[in-house]
């Protein structure tokens, strides 16, 4: 099965982070992808463009570049990429994270061995601006548990997933009415359509999480996320369900001062709550 890596970058990204990210999905991989598709989301500064040009030369004909004339946001940029991809598997990747060398081989082999699974993620390890590693974050692996977990929070780390292109052939796309948390909306829609999702237990990705990660969690983003969860739960479980307590609790949390959010985000309590299975 052939693989395309789908990425998007915009002007705010740091050149060294994009460089490290591209190296991780190409030079460092045990199983190299057949294509790296990078969407330039609007004009980018010369320093960042220099990194893009360098990797164009390194990767050669397997490098596909899509340019947005203006900044459209991640959701629309990913959909533009999906419209161009012809390969069997699509590996998502963010422009500041690091894919571990075995990632594509492990996910490719898993999907080959499990033809009923269409989306597979993996455990992630967060790291900060000083490259200090935080504890590994694990996600549910059983498709049924994932469907139940979805009401609590995202059952996948978006930049860690590999998806079969066939799920998009019927018109499935990221919902561009949501500028953020578009991955959660996609998981709800996929679950509604009966698409099976899993995760590898092993760590596949180093996920950048620093002070900027928390600062980007604005109240506007929190309200957008709340809308996604409320609508998704309604479509999956109807109006009369106790599961609405989860998005309501998340919204209350997101309204707290950012200093408190940071403490909770990195706490062991958060991990325990999210890992608890519904009874």
pLDDT tens-place string over residues 26-47: 999 999 999 999 999 999 999 9
pLDDT digits (tens, 9 = 90+) for 51-93: 999 999 999 999 999 999 999 999 999 999 999 999 999 999 9
> What percent of the chain has a predicted confidence (pLDDT) above 70?
89
**pLDDT: is 179 or 213 the higher one?**
179
**Taking residues 213-240, what's their average pLDDT?**
85
Same domain, 253 and 199: yes
Same domain, 69 and 199: no
pLDDT at 78: 97
Q: How far apart are CA 47 and CA 249, in angstroms?
A: 42
pLDDT at 279: 30
Say if 70 falls within a structural domain. yes
Say if 164 falls within a structural domain. no
Among the listed residues 232, 253, 255, the one whose alpha carbon sits nearest the alpha carbon of residue 244: 232
Same domain, 14 and 74: yes
Same domain, 92 and 126: no
Indicate if the pLDDT at residue 262 is higher than 90: no
Q: Give the number of domains in the chain.
A: 2
Which residues are registered as beta bridge partners of 206? 98, 125
**Taking residues 94-116, what's their average pLDDT?**
97
Say if 4 falls within a structural domain. yes
Same domain, 84 and 131: no
pLDDT at 134: 87
Same domain, 268 and 179: yes
Q: How far apart are CA 37 and CA 52, in angstroms?
A: 11
Q: How far apart are CA 47 and CA 57, in angstroms?
A: 16
Same domain, 193 and 233: yes
Give the CATH number of the domain where residue 12 resides.
3.90.550.10
Say if 103 falls within a structural domain. no
- For 223, the token pair is 């309200």
Please tell me the least confidently modeled range out of 11-15, 63-67, 207-211, 254-258. 254-258
Say if 126 falls within a structural domain. yes
Indicate if the pLDDT at residue 214 is higher than 60: no
Q: How far apart are CA 184 and CA 170, in angstroms?
A: 19
- H helices present in 85-208, as ranges: 103-113, 143-149, 182-192
Q: Please say whether the beta carbons of 33 and 64 come within 8 A.
A: no
**Taking residues 191-203, what's their average pLDDT?**
96
DSSP labels for 24-67? HHTTT-SS--SEEEEEEES---HHHHHHHHHHHHHHGGGEEEEE
Q: State the residue range of the domain holding 259.
A: 122-159+169-279
Domain final position from 96, 111, 134: 96
Beta-carbon count within 10 A of 237 CB: 13
Same domain, 240 and 135: yes
Same domain, 249 and 136: yes
Q: How far apart are CA 210 and CA 278, in angstroms?
A: 31
Same domain, 77 and 137: no
Among the listed residues 36, 37, 38, 33, the one whose alpha carbon sits nearest the alpha carbon of residue 1: 33
CB neighbours of 76 closer than 8 A, spacing ≥ 6? 68, 176
Same domain, 192 and 271: yes
Say if 110 falls within a structural domain. no
Among the listed residues 38, 39, 48, 41, the one whose alpha carbon sits nearest the alpha carbon of residue 69: 41
Say if 151 falls within a structural domain. yes
**pLDDT: is 248 or 82 the higher one?**
82
Domain final position from 96, 114, 142: 96
- For 231, the token pair is 């609508």
Say if 194 falls within a structural domain. yes
Which residues are registered as beta bridge partners of 225? none
Same domain, 69 and 143: no
pLDDT at 276: 42
pLDDT digits (tens, 9 = 90+) for 128-162: 877 788 889 999 999 999 999 999 999 999 999 99
């Amino acid at each position: 099965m052939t693989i395309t890596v789908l990425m998007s970058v915009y002007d705010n990204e740091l050149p060294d982070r994009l460089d490290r990210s591209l190296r991780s999905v190409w030079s460092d991989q045990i199983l190299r992808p057949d294509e790296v598709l990078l969407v330039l989301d609007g004009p980018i500064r010369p320093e960042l463009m220099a990194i893009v040009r360098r990797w164009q030369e390194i990767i050669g004909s397997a490098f596909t570049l899509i340019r947005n004339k203006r900044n459209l946001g991640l959701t629309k940029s990913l959909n533009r990429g999906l419209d161009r991809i012809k390969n069997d598997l699509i590996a998502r990747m963010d422009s500041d994270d690091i894919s571990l060398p075995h990632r594509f081989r492990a996910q490719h082999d898993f999907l080959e061995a499990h033809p009923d699974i269409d989306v597979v993620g993996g455990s992630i390890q967060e790291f900060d601006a000083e490259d200090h590693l935080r504890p590994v974050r694990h996600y549910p692996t059983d498709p049924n548990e994932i469907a139940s977990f979805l009401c609590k929070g995202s059952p996948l780390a978006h930049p860690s997933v590999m998806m079969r292109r066939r799920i998009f052939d019927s018109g499935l796309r990221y919902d561009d009415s949501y500028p953020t948390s578009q991955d959660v909306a996609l998981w709800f829609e996929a679950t509604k359509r009966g698409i099976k999702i899993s995760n590898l237990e092993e760590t596949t990705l180093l996920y950048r999480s620093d002070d900027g990660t928390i600062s980007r969690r604005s109240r506007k983003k929190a309200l957008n996320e709340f809308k996604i969860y409320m609508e998704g739960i309604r479509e999956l479980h109807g109006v009369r369900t106790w599961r609405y307590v989860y998005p309501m609790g998340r919204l209350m949390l997101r309204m707290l001062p950012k200093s408190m959010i940071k403490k909770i985000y990195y706490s062991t309590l958060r991990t325990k709550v999210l890992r608890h299975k519904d009874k």
